[in-house]
Structure 1
Amino acid sequence: MSSPASTPPTYVIGHKNPDADAICSAIAYAAFKTQRGEPGYVAARCGNTNARIDTILQRFNQPLPLYLSDVSPRVRDLMITDVVHTHDGATCAEALEIMDRHSVSVLPVVNDDRRVLGTVSLAQMGGFFVPHINDPRRMRLVRTSLSRIVRSLKAEFLHAVEETRLEELNVRIGAMDIRTFWKISERENLPPAQSIVIVGDRPEVQMRSIEIGIRALIISGGLPVDPAVLELARTHRVSVISSPHDTATTAWVVRTASTLDRVIDRDIPSVNADVRIADVRKRFGPASQHALLVTDEADILQGILTKSDLLKPVETRLVLVDHNEMTQAVNGADEVNIAEIIDHHRLGALNTQQPILFINEPVGSTCTIVADLFRREGMSPTPELAGIMMSGLISDTLHLNSPTTTPKDGAVLTWLAGIAGIDSRRLADEIFSSGSVILANPADKVVRSDFKIYDEEGVRYSVSQVEELGFGNFWQHAKAITQALQDLRNEEQLAFVCLLVTDINTQNSLLLAKGDPGFISRISYPHIEQDEIFDLPGIVSRKKQLIPYLGTLLREMAADGAMPGNSTAPFPRSKRKGASV
């Protein structure tokens, strides 16, 4: 068994339910790494895109990033692919030789199509070669062909008759006096035609064996054979084999020439390559098997996974962009190596196995940070890549109108516009008029658009955000969206859920909230509809305006001893505070 599967790439990936900044910054940072001479970085996403993102990608001729729903380590990531195995036509001797050569104790047995038939082990063959003493006949019985015997002995045929026929044969040693030689066989009713006699240079026993009509005569020690013996063998159609070994060794090796079918364990411990390592660990308990064969749906051998393989370091690496909170990250991120984080949100609770590169800046978009890395390195992105970063920056800052906007965002946008040769205002108009999330999607997808879960003061809640040109589309679908938001709360078991609908033109928003009545009643903005819809003039930033406000309400409730509860089950009281916005 040699090398494992090749090293996987490093995935640059944004948060779940990605917005334009998450997609664009992933594309840009992967390109930055490649241009810097660091290959193997691949832009990825862990959620579906929307009309705005699709417009941006089409505008700048960029492919959709690779979709990864789960990066949990799989069996294929740790298994050995170069599997030492044996064929179903092999002998026990050949299997033992393979085991000895590769220092393994278990071998998969496959057919010509690599379909697994079972396994053979030293323990199984030990039981076969040393059977119970009260069954001596089994000690003499082999299922093989004469050609396999010759192959195992490294012997030669002096005369061969139907040497490839697979048959059951009884092994006898010609050690007795010629007068008593065959009496035990007659007493045990062993047919001569199913018997092999191993003998040294005893011509009388050789001749007598042939006259009886045995299947094959094996002459041990590589000793010469009288021509008269060979002539008699031809007359009686008895095969004659010359073995280079002594009689005792020859007898033992003949037994190892048995085919593997009598020692194969057909109860195959196997697993599919796509199974999560976390799910397969329990199959490797203290008293369980030490290895699992990796097979596909047709039982074709793909690899092997051992207990020691579970100790290997996971090679999958992630660069998180536009988030730093595990609740926002792709599923399985906590089971692999997070190599870097590039973000512009407040710090959430995230642990890493070792020190990492963590760039966190208080700017309006992650694309601003990535573009600035190009600038600082004296590197110029392609016009298309500059356009991608412009799009992420414009989307996240509402073309520099969001309260999260900083002077650096403006300076970077100007720099990128010069490279792309695009007027930022015209690009902003193109992006924001590219389609309505509300019109393009059913209500359940609307409430999961740019959807993020937070954990603050021990309370889990979510805030989604959509940006529209006016509120007309929202009011037309408000009833369905309200019900979808309540369904979302129940599905995710959240204390409360919010949808922030932002009018890009007026820089105002509506807030739709569903959840704990005690919490909803504390929202101090104008209540304009019975279905918990509030008017939020001048509020456009979830990160810098809405989340701090909701956090204040939760802290007030905590001080009053009246924390919100979940609609369907007790919500988790986590010790973690804060989440990326």
Structure 2
Amino acid sequence: MEKVYVIGHKNPDTDSICSAYCYANLKNQIDKQFKYIAARCGNLNKQTKYIFEKLNIEPPIFLKDVYPKVSDVMTKNVIYSLENDPIYNVMMNINKLKIRLTPVLDNNRKLSGIVSILEMTDYYMGEEDIDKRPSYLLRCENIKQIVKGETIQDGDKDEFLSYLIVGAMPFDRFKERFDKMDLDKITLIVGRRVDIIEYAAEKGVPAIIVTGLKSKDEMAGIDLGDYKGFVYMSYHDTAETLRRLLMSVPAKFVMSREFPVLSSDTYLEEAKDVLINENRRGLPVVDSEKRLIGIITRSDMLKKYKNKLILMDHNELEQAIDGAETADILEIIDHHRLGTIKTNTPIFFYAKPLGSTCTLVYELYKHYGIKIDENIAVLLLSGILSDTVILKSPTTTKWDIDAANNLAQIAGLDISSYGQEIFSVAESLKTRDFKEVINADFKVYNEFGVKFGIGQVEVVTLEDYKEVYRDLLNELEKTKNDKRLDWAMLLVTDIVSENSYLLSTGFEPVEKLMIYRKIIDNTFYLPKVLSRKKQLLPELLRALEEYHLSMKK
């Protein structure tokens, strides 16, 4: 079944993670066409991790990006051969099944080689010097399988490297040529020529194949003495026996051992370059232990695979998972301002100016008549309380409050107590990792020719801010440079007093136009500001627009 990833924005907050999990759950109940998988493109913050651990639920899976990968298009049910299988099997794969590439596995089922048209051509063309006699690796079991006949005696070797010689000439001429060859590397193919057979047996060649016989009785009168080699009676004529012998050689003799392999997470564009550079029609795909897990061909590259996404809690590409521009976006569920994502086809876009995306998901459960169980109720409630700061944020609407009350009743929770519980998980600013503080919920915007970013962190007191703000500023400067921003800010929000501090890397022409008062270096006081989206961002956009217009004069 085809997968659809239900995924929130980069630097995911609790609302983003919980809404993705709950909406994937809903979609799997109302739509059996796809398998909906809750995903995330960033680490869980401490609050979100606490919520999922408390419920003993696995959080959404982590995805680095959604660029098409080998795993998306590779053939997984692979036809393969084992090292000792006759090359005839590979030829049948190529001819009947139209398989361009046959992987060859060792006894431990690990990849050891490949056979394709290239290797088969090399095998049948033989040495570049036509006067140089080729040798072949022969296996007694393979000969019995491919050449119809009966075993006269098994030899002392299961397999051997051998030159093929046909005893079709007068005995004296045969003996003359025979004696000049390496006798330890000769397989004789001959009709019932007693003199030639007995001479070869006397010299101890590895194998003698007698052709054109119908039963073992026809071997009567041939003295093999104490010969230790393999003797086989072929029902075929000499020419057909020789042809089948060539098809009995084991795959390991023909296969190529020097070739690149791909992993399932190799990007398709990289795989395409490898195929072209290696002049291969296909390549095997292996796991970390060299076990075969798939095969990819040039035809697979033509599939133009796109991952399917449902975006939760965002609708701008800059905030979406890397590679979202290559994906098919099927739906967007969001409560933020509209961004710039363009789609090739009409999609389901559910957006309202509410305090939380989890409220939207709650409404969709109600719309489809799907019962909300206790765990889903806790997750939806968690997302609402987190994003609305326990329903105190000015973004909070009566729909958020109604949803929270209904979900709290299902979950058997007190809104105030549970809200305090999930917010109390956060550590003091002094003990937290500053990089994580800034990037855990950091969003990038591009307005009026200025690229800027705002992070937000909730705390239960601002008393320790002045002790750490310089360290936070240093880390904020790094984030600004890493993301190539003109301006970076961190909104530090006290959910108890409902006031905030805004730490800024500095953008003086715009900062002068803001209504906020600077209290210390790089820090502004924002009384009764809890919401980045509904309170801070509109003020920043107003100041940026005023600055932009002044620059035009």
Q: Do the aligned partners of 1:91 and 1:257 also contact (CA within 8 Å) in 2?
A: yes
- Match of residue 167, structure 2, among 155, 171, 174: 174
Flag the 1:285–1:105 CA change in 2: closer, same or farther, 3 A. closer
Which residue of structure 2 aligns with residue 96 of structure 1?
91
Q: How does 1:149-168 map to 2 (within 5 A)?
A: 149-157=143-151, 159-162=152-155, 164-168=157-161
The question of 1:268 aligning with 2:259 is answered yes
Q: Deviations over 1:491-512 (max 9, x none)?
A: 2211000111223344332211
The question of 1:77 aligning with 2:72 is answered yes
Flag the 1:235–1:316 CA change in 2: closer, same or farther, 3 A. same
Q: Which has the larger displacement, 369-378 or 420-429?
A: 420-429
Q: Deviations over 1:360-419 (max 9, x none)?
A: 111121111111122223344124433332332233223443332333223333333443
The question of 1:25 aligning with 2:19 is answered yes
Q: Which has the larger displacement, 499-508 or 339-348?
A: 499-508
The question of 1:309 aligning with 2:300 is answered yes
- Match of residue 366, structure 1, among 357, 360, 368: 357
The AA in structure 1 aligned to 2:539 is Y
Q: Do the aligned partners of 1:230 and 1:240 also contact (CA within 8 Å) in 2?
A: no
Which residue of structure 1 aligns with residue 534 of structure 2?
544
Flag the 1:211–1:425 CA change in 2: closer, same or farther, 3 A. closer
- Match of residue 199, structure 1, among 184, 190, 194: 190
Secondary structure of 2:339's counterpart equals coil
Q: Deviations over 1:527-566 (max 9, x none)?
A: 221x221122333221122222222333333334489xxx
Q: How does 1:471-550 map to 2 (within 5 A)?
A: 471-529=462-520, 531-550=521-540
Q: Do the aligned partners of 1:200 and 1:247 also contact (CA within 8 Å) in 2?
A: yes
Q: Which has the larger displacement, 482-491 or 93-102?
A: 93-102
* Structure 2 unpaired stretches of 5+: none
Q: Deviations over 1:300-352 (max 9, x none)?
A: 32222222223336474332211112222233333444332110111112233
Q: Deviations over 1:512-534 (max 9, x none)?
A: 111444343443422221x2211
- Match of residue 223, structure 2, among 203, 221, 232: 232
Secondary structure of 2:504's counterpart equals strand
Q: Do the aligned partners of 1:215 and 1:239 also contact (CA within 8 Å) in 2?
A: yes
Q: How does 1:280-295 map to 2 (within 5 A)?
A: 280-285=271-276, 288-295=279-286
CA RMSD of aligned residues (A): 3.2
Which residue of structure 2 aligns with residue 116 of structure 1?
111
Which residue of structure 1 aligns with residue 6 of structure 2?
12
Flag the 1:214–1:21 CA change in 2: closer, same or farther, 3 A. closer
Flag the 1:347–1:279 CA change in 2: closer, same or farther, 3 A. farther
Q: Deviations over 1:29-73 (max 9, x none)?
A: 233334546584343333333344345446666554333343444
Give me the whole-angstrom Cα distance separating, in 1, the residues matched to 2:322 and 2:311. Answer: 12
How far has the Cα of 1:465 moved from its partner?
1.3
Give me the whole-angstrom Cα distance separating, in 1, the residues matched to 2:223 and 2:248. Answer: 26
Secondary structure of 1:266's counterpart equals coil
Give me the whole-angstrom Cα distance separating, in 2, the residues matched to 1:193 and 1:54. Answer: 70
Which residue of structure 2 aligns with residue 244 of structure 1?
235
Flag the 1:128–1:284 CA change in 2: closer, same or farther, 3 A. closer
- Match of residue 433, structure 2, among 439, 442, 458: 442
Q: How does 1:465-476 map to 2 (within 5 A)?
A: 465-476=456-467
Q: Deviations over 1:409-442 (max 9, x none)?
A: 2333333344344443444344444434624512
Which residue of structure 2 aligns with residue 322 of structure 1?
313
Flag the 1:251–1:163 CA change in 2: closer, same or farther, 3 A. farther
The AA in structure 2 aligned to 1:151 is Q
Flag the 1:533–1:162 CA change in 2: closer, same or farther, 3 A. same
Which residue of structure 2 aligns with residue 356 of structure 1?
347
Q: Which has the larger displacement, 277-286 or 221-230?
A: 221-230
- Normalised by the length of structure 2, the TM-score is 0.88
Give me the whole-angstrom Cα distance separating, in 1, the residues matched to 2:101 and 2:337. Answer: 53
Flag the 1:223–1:472 CA change in 2: closer, same or farther, 3 A. same
How far has the Cα of 1:16 moved from its partner?
2.0
Q: Do the aligned partners of 1:34 and 1:40 also contact (CA within 8 Å) in 2?
A: yes
How far has the Cα of 1:201 moved from its partner?
5.3
Q: Do the aligned partners of 2:506 and 2:522 also contact (CA within 8 Å) in 1?
A: no
The question of 1:344 aligning with 2:335 is answered yes
- Match of residue 41, structure 1, among 11, 36, 41: 36
Q: Do the aligned partners of 1:207 and 1:229 also contact (CA within 8 Å) in 2?
A: no
Which residue of structure 1 aligns with residue 404 of structure 2?
413
The AA in structure 2 aligned to 1:469 is V
How far has the Cα of 1:262 moved from its partner?
4.5
The AA in structure 1 aligned to 2:537 is I
Give me the whole-angstrom Cα distance separating, in 2, the residues matched to 1:45 and 1:383. Answer: 23
Give me the whole-angstrom Cα distance separating, in 1, the residues matched to 2:410 and 2:200. Answer: 96
Q: How does 1:252-263 map to 2 (within 5 A)?
A: 252-263=243-254
How far has the Cα of 1:451 moved from its partner?
1.0
The AA in structure 2 aligned to 1:247 is T
The question of 1:424 aligning with 2:418 is answered no
Q: Which has the larger displacement, 264-273 or 162-171?
A: 162-171
Flag the 1:398–1:279 CA change in 2: closer, same or farther, 3 A. same
Sequence identity (%) = 33
Number of residue equivalences: 552
Secondary structure of 2:319's counterpart equals coil
Give me the whole-angstrom Cα distance separating, in 1, the residues matched to 2:312 and 2:531. Answer: 19
Give me the whole-angstrom Cα distance separating, in 2, the residues matched to 1:266 and 1:561. Answer: 66
Q: Which has the larger displacement, 82-91 or 311-320?
A: 311-320
Q: Deviations over 1:146-205 (max 9, x none)?
A: 443333312222x2251644333332333334454433434xx12556434433455666
Which residue of structure 2 aligns with residue 569 of structure 1?
none
How far has the Cα of 1:270 moved from its partner?
0.7
Give me the whole-angstrom Cα distance separating, in 1, the residues matched to 2:342 and 2:290. Answer: 39
Q: Which has the larger displacement, 342-351 or 216-225?
A: 216-225
The AA in structure 2 aligned to 1:536 is L
Give me the whole-angstrom Cα distance separating, in 2, the residues matched to 1:261 and 1:89. Answer: 6
Q: Do the aligned partners of 2:377 and 2:407 also contact (CA within 8 Å) in 1?
A: yes
The question of 1:130 aligning with 2:130 is answered no
Secondary structure of 2:505's counterpart equals strand
Give me the whole-angstrom Cα distance separating, in 1, the residues matched to 2:303 and 2:275. Answer: 15
Give me the whole-angstrom Cα distance separating, in 1, the residues matched to 2:45 and 2:92. Answer: 60
Give me the whole-angstrom Cα distance separating, in 2, the residues matched to 1:165 and 1:55. Answer: 63
How far has the Cα of 1:112 moved from its partner?
0.4
How far has the Cα of 1:484 moved from its partner?
1.7
Q: How does 1:381-392 map to 2 (within 5 A)?
A: 381-392=372-383
The AA in structure 2 aligned to 1:124 is E
How far has the Cα of 1:462 moved from its partner?
0.4
Give me the whole-angstrom Cα distance separating, in 2, the residues matched to 1:236 and 1:408. Answer: 95
- Match of residue 331, structure 1, among 305, 308, 322: 322
- Normalised by the length of structure 1, the TM-score is 0.84
